[in-house]
Amino acid sequence: MEFSQFVVIILVAIVSYLLGLKNGSNGGGSESAGFMVDKATGVQFPTTKKFISSKKNELSCVGVGTRKKAVLNIYSLGLFVSSLLEKQILKENPQGNALCKTIQSSNAQKAIELSFVMNLGPEKIAEAVSQIDGVKEDIKTEFHDMIVDGLGGGKIKKGENMTFEWKGSEITVTARGKLIGKMNDKALASGVLDLYLGSKSVSPSLLQNLGCK
The answer to whether the CB of 18 falls within 8 A of the CB of 102 is no
For residue 110, give the nearest of 51, 65, 162, 157 by alpha carbon. 51
Query: What are the CB-based long-range contacts (under 8 Å, 24+) for 205-208?
Result: 205/27, 205/28, 205/40, 205/65, 205/66, 206/27, 206/63, 206/64, 206/65, 206/66, 206/77, 206/79, 207/27, 207/65, 207/100, 208/26, 208/27, 208/28, 208/65
Structural domains of the chain sorted by starting position, each given as residue range(s) with its CATH number in brackets = 3-210 (3.50.70.10)
pLDDT, tens only, 26-46: 556 666 678 999 999 999 999
CA distance linking residue 186 with residue 3, whole number of Å: 37
pLDDT in tens, the chain (213 residues): 554 554 444 555 455 545 554 334 455 666 667 899 999 999 999 999 999 988 788 999 999 999 999 999 999 999 999 999 999 999 999 999 999 999 999 999 999 999 999 999 998 899 888 889 899 999 999 999 999 999 987 889 999 999 999 999 999 999 999 999 999 999 999 999 999 999 999 999 999 999 997
- Report the mean per-residue pLDDT for the chain: 87
CA distance linking residue 45 with residue 37, whole number of Å: 6
- Main-chain phi, psi angles of 113, to 5 degrees: -100, 130
The HSE-up count of residue 11 (CA atoms within 13 Å, CB side) is: 22
**33 conformational bin, left if phi > 0, alpha if psi -120 to 50, beta if neither:** left
- Main-chain phi, psi angles of 107, to 5 degrees: -85, -5
